Every structure is written in C-alpha cells, then in structure tokens.
C-alpha cells in the first residue's frame, strides 16, 4: 500500500483508477472509525452521475459536510451523514457499519449499510465501502439501486479525519433487518 497518497492526488484520478486503487487498500477496523470525517465526492462514473451527485449533495439548500461513525462493539457500529442547511447543521441518513467482503473484489471493506434504518438511502439499498488510503484519508465507493447491475456502479468519495466528535445516534432501525445479498453480495459468492 502506498501510504504517501494525498487527497489532492485522489482528486485527479478517474473512477476506474479509484476502483483500481481501492482494490490495493486495507480496510480500517470498526473501532478505528470514530468521529466525524469530512466528506466530498471524487470523480464520478459518468457526467450524469457527477451532475446528480453534486446537485444532491452540494446545492443551495444543503451542503454535504461529513460522515460520522461510532463503534457499537468490535464488529459493528453506527453512523450518519451531516449536512449544512442554511445556518443549521443536520444529521441524516443513518447507517449500520461492519467489516464485510467488498462487492468489487471480495476483500474486506468497512461497509456502511443504510438499510439498517428507515431513510431514503435505505430504500434505494445504498451501501458505501471504505478503505484507508493513508492515515486519516479514506477512499469510499458508494453504491445504490434496485437491480444488481445498478448496485455494481461505483460512486467514489473521500473521507478525511476524524475532524470532530460523533454527535449522537439518529434514525429508526428496521425491525429484524439482517444484511442480505443486495447489501453484501460477496457474502453469498
């Protein structure tokens, strides 16, 4: 693993290069990921995804600030996303976290599974995978969709930090939810 990679270098990579780099990285542990991590999109798989991603996450109504995590135990955790809305800072889109095989290469990744909770991200089967690019620098690949083909498209993002404390749990858990092949397809391979 190249521990000298910088956020600036990641900014210049295209989606296939980011996926290739992701395959060479190691996952952080559940207990390593604690606090708020500044977040922003990297190169997206196509121009439409870039426009939609930026319109959704960075628009006049809301600006994506971070993802945040806390371990629940050694193998699982919780998290949320934080947005700036005018003068307010709000938490949205809670997720459960765990280490599990990546849908892209079958190797362990820190998985953010939104379906653990009731939210728009859970409804669209969003799962983010995260690996450590350098100390305090994490490369993520987001996925979502209703079909297997949709859920194989990577949407890269960058996390840096931690830059602040975890603000507190949010969200209403889905009763009796356990990640299945939609969330973690590599478990069923």
Q: Kindly report the pTM of this predicted structure.
A: 0.95
Predicted pLDDT of residue 50: 87
**Is residue 1 pLDDT above 50, yes or no?**
no
Predicted pLDDT of residue 188: 66
Q: Which CATH architecture has domain 7-98+110-164?
A: Beta Barrel (2.40)
Q: Which of 33, 9, 6, 167 is nearest to 90 (CA)?
A: 167
Which of 3-12, 73-82, 144-153, 164-173 is least confident?
A: 3-12
What average pLDDT does the chain have? 94
Task: Count CB-CB contacts under 10 A for residue 71.
Answer: 17
> 64: helix, coil or strand?
strand
pLDDT, mean of residues 112-118? 97
What distances in angstroms separate CA 11 from CA 4, 104, 140, 159, one per listed residue? 14, 21, 13, 12
Predicted pLDDT of residue 154: 97
pLDDT tens digits for 37-61?
999 999 999 888 888 888 888 888 8
């Amino acid at each position: 693993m190249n521990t000298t990679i910088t956020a600036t270098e990641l900014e210049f990579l295209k989606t296939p290069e980011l996926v290739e780099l992701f395959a060479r990285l190691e996952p952080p542990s559940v207990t390593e990921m604690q606090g708020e991590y500044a977040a922003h999109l990297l190169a997206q798989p196509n121009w439409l995804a870039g426009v939609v991603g930026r319109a959704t996450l960075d628009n006049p109504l809301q600006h994506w600030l971070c993802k945040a995590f806390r371990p629940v135990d050694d193998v699982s955790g919780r998290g949320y996303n934080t947005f700036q809305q005018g003068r307010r800072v709000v938490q949205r889109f809670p997720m459960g976290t765990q280490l599990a095989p990546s849908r892209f290469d079958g190797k362990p990744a820190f998985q953010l599974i939104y379906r653990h909770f009731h939210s728009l991200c859970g409804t669209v089967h969003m799962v983010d995978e995260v690996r450590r690019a350098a100390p305090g620098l994490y490369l993520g690949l987001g996925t979502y969709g209703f079909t297997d083909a949709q859920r194989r498209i990577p949407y890269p993002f960058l996390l840096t930090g931690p830059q602040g404390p975890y603000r507190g749990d949010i969200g209403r858990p889905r009763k009796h939810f356990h990640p299945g092949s939609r969330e973690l397809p590599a478990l069923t391979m």
